[in-house]
């Protein structure tokens, strides 16, 4: 039975979230025991907590898109 692309995408997202959670916990642990081999600051740990979570997408700036297209000459529509 073939696996749907939606299922694969959900599985991949779950796997990434699990890896991010494991990494966050491990970095937190080594920070607590005083390991200084690399940056385990609160800022870094806060950044890691957002890994694997959906990113809020911003709507494109229509004025920027219009400005980018103004001088386009890649196809016949520019004539």
- Residue 29 in domain: yes
pLDDT of residue 33: 92
Taking only the tens place, the pLDDT of each residue in 36-77 is: 777 668 888 888 888 777 777 777 788 888 888 888 888 877
The Cα 58–Cα 41 span in angstroms is 29
pLDDT at 3 over 70: no
**Among 17-21, 25-29, 49-53, 61-65, which is the least confidently predicted range?**
49-53
Count of domains observed in the chain: 1
pLDDT of residue 15: 87
- Residue 19 in domain: yes
- Residue 65 in domain: no
- Residue 6 in domain: yes
The Cα 5–Cα 26 span in angstroms is 31
- Residue 78 in domain: no
- Residue 45 in domain: yes
The Cα 69–Cα 54 span in angstroms is 30
- Residue 39 in domain: yes
- Residue 58 in domain: no
Note down the domain range covering 44.
Answer: 1-53
pTM for the structure as a whole? 0.40
pLDDT of residue 79: 65
Question: Which one has a higher pLDDT value, 39 or 21?
Answer: 21
Tell me phi and psi for residue 29, to 5 degrees. Answer: -60, -50
Range list of β-strands (E), the chain: none
């Amino acid at each position: 039975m073939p696996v749907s692309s939606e299922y694969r995408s959900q599985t991949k997202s779950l796997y990434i979230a699990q890896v991010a959670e494991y990494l966050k916990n491990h970095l937190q642990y080594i920070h607590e025991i005083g390991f200084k081999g690399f940056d385990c600051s609160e800022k870094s740990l806060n950044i890691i907590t957002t890994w694997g979570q959906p990113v809020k997408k911003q709507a494109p700036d229509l004025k920027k898109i219009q400005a980018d297209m103004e001088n386009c000459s890649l196809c016949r529509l520019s004539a």
